[in-house]
Amino acid sequence: MSSRPPLAAAAVALVAVTPAMANPVNATDFETVIAHDDLDLTTREGVARLDERVRTKARQMCRNGGRDSASLRLERECQAGALAAAAPAIRVAVANARIDRVRLAENTPASPAATPGV
């Protein structure tokens, strides 16, 4: 856990759409929220953990149980679509975390020991 800046977003949405294979009845839209309030998205480690959570959830949501080549292809396409759909939300969450860290640093008074000559 980290001391997270107060304005950071609390979740990243993951949206997945399974391909319809020329039959829109087979298409499935689903959405989930992936919490990241326990991660420090201003660090590489925090972003890597969020990426792994998103990939894991995409694999879980896109799993269709089939093992034939068509089913496996559909799973891969679903995962690729879900990851592409989640990428902007991840970028926004990371940017917000960095902005919040800067705001927090700007609003935190420096100690006299940290500012020589004062």
Q: What is the pLDDT of residues 58-107, one digit of tens each?
A: 999 999 899 999 999 999 999 999 999 899 999 999 999 999 888 777 77
Higher local confidence (pLDDT), 42 or 22: 42
The whole-model pTM stands at 0.70
Q: Print the domain residue range for 89.
A: 11-108
Does any domain span residue 116? no
Which tokens go with 60? Answer: 């879980």
- In total, how many domains does the chain have? 1
- Minimum mean pLDDT among 5-9, 22-26, 44-48, 56-60: which range? 5-9
Euclidean distance between CA atoms 39 and 56, whole angstroms: 16
Does any domain span residue 60? yes
Does any domain span residue 113? no
Does any domain span residue 52? yes
Q: Which of 41, 38, 15, 39 is nearest to 28 (CA)?
A: 15
pLDDT tens digits, 15-33:
655 554 434 444 567 788 8
